[in-house]
Amino acid sequence: MKLIRMLLGSLILLFDFIFTPRSKKRPAEAQAKLDAQTAKLKLYQFKGCPFCVKVRRAAKREGLKLETRDAKNNQAYRQELQEQGGRIKVPCLRIEEQNQVTWLYESNDIVDYLQKLEQAA
């Protein structure tokens, strides 16, 4: 089972590399404003996870720069996700707003949040 998961993950990464979406183009001032907003977002992910790829592709398509944190290979990020987020489940978006941290799970919810963020900019 682990071998199948590894092979499928590699295949997903290959297709993601070959068919990378184009980022939206916007004026530099608008992009800088959006970059300031996304600086407070952290995406906890596994590189070959199909749901994580979905979120990364959505961010790329919207022209959003997200800091990604590999919770599979980095024990500090994995522990942070477990202790602060409550569970090890990816993708997970850590949102810092008004001195409050929100942990958003589920790829569809994360993509919706990113699209709303981009539309508000």
Domains of the chain, by residue range, sit at: 2-20+28-120
CA-to-CA distance for 91 and 69, rounded, in angstroms? Answer: 10
CATH architecture for segment(s) 2-20+28-120: 3-Layer(aba) Sandwich (3.40)
Report pTM: 0.88
What pLDDT tens digit does each residue of the chain (121 aa) get?
A: 788 888 888 888 888 888 888 888 888 888 888 998 999 999 999 998 999 999 999 999 999 999 999 999 999 999 999 999 999 999 999 999 888 999 999 999 999 999 998 887 6
